[in-house]
Structure 1
């Protein structure tokens, strides 16, 4: 897997950038480097990159902005790297669509382990083809979930990509329609995430799912908040033509 994977290291600090690049190269990854988000965008446009190790604080466009832009049309793996332990920043990073969040100083072996797991998921998603056996599609309300592509398609054919966390949470809801599930129960469904989840993680993922399902957070109809208990998934039955 490593020999076929390409990692892009984006950091304006040459010491950190070179350290990560040398470490991943020694593990037989293809490695590209950029000092700014703008340089990273040029590389991403011309290469089939599997993973971006992205510093949050960059000159010019910052890492959070780049993460948000990448998520519009790409499922490349994204690990955000921050110079400080900041819970709010971590949550914002997840809301923007990052898969992982690590802080400096970091253990290169830990980042390598996270990277391998994340790249494996990215490659599995990309490897699906029309001739490949596919998991059964799930229809609910105006939506159809394509599990193998981690993709939602609405009645008019508009597609919405899901991050791994969003996908796992939606599948948990679909397995328990109409049932109130606590945050702990939902965390059990997504606990194979490499970043450490928390109650706030569930709230962040619910907010992202609501946006993609066009479920008004001020008056939700699909994912209901049950105060003091958790969330309840109540998909609207699909209308017959």
Structure 2
């Protein structure tokens, strides 16, 4: 996604300048909103590919903004910025639908790497495209993955509303069907070795997939002391399976 449009919500001028200069030097387009009111004005008549949101703002919370963005555009990318590095804040942001979390202070190159990684994930999924049939990749319960549009549809064509991270975790598990993956390995495949998260992050993603996808979500099995596996066959055929 080389021509991505990015909306930055940040009230600290120095941070906003650093982010804007770094991303625009790499060919990305960045619009800046200094508060929640300005942010709402920016999104009234257009949508963005990626949102970078500070948490502590003069007229609101980046958490609330992230929730609203995710409701209106499930497939947009969201990166949270904050000097609040407590684990509970990180987990809350990710549970609200953020795809990544960058604590302050940070280097411009670090943020750029996170942005580029997320933008790559927002593109089509070549490892699934065309792997089953022209209609998409079938999942249990009548669901279908659409790799080109990165969404999952039910038998009536309704969108499950997966976030980019939820879609990618499902994609990774689906392409490794029958192969148990630890939480650390899932995170590595999802974001790379430079990204760290605790077990609660991946457990939360799996929980939301199961809730949103019903039977297709239940195909993701928990293996005690190991991690997760996508059970392409019946559950009793997955060695070491212990559903959680």
**Structure-2 separation of matches of 1:14 and 1:198:** 31
What do the CA deviations read for 1:12-54 (whole angstroms, capped 9, x no partner)?
2233223333443444433211122232122123234232221
Alignment check: 8 A CA contact 1:79 1:99 kept? yes
What do the CA deviations read for 1:115-150 (whole angstroms, capped 9, x no partner)?
23333443x35xx9xxxx856422122211112222
Alignment check: 8 A CA contact 1:101 1:195 kept? no
Change (3 A) 1:146 1:18: same
Structure 2: state its 5+ residue gaps: 235-244
* Further displaced range: 84-93 or 181-190: 181-190
Change (3 A) 1:102 1:182: closer
Structure 1 length-normalised TM: 0.77
Corresponding position: 1:53 with 2:49:
no
* Aligned ranges 1:117-128 → 2 under 5 Å: 117-122=117-122, 124-125=123-124
Structure 1: state its 5+ residue gaps: none
Structure 2 length-normalised TM: 0.76
Alignment check: 8 A CA contact 1:168 1:189 kept? no
Match of 1:172 in 2: 172
Task: Tell me how many residue pairs correspond in the alignment.
Answer: 226
Shift of 1:176: 4.9
What do the CA deviations read for 1:71-102 (whole angstroms, capped 9, x no partner)?
12322222110112222211221111212211
What do the CA deviations read for 1:174-198 (whole angstroms, capped 9, x no partner)?
2455665443453454243863244
Match of 1:230 in 2: 227
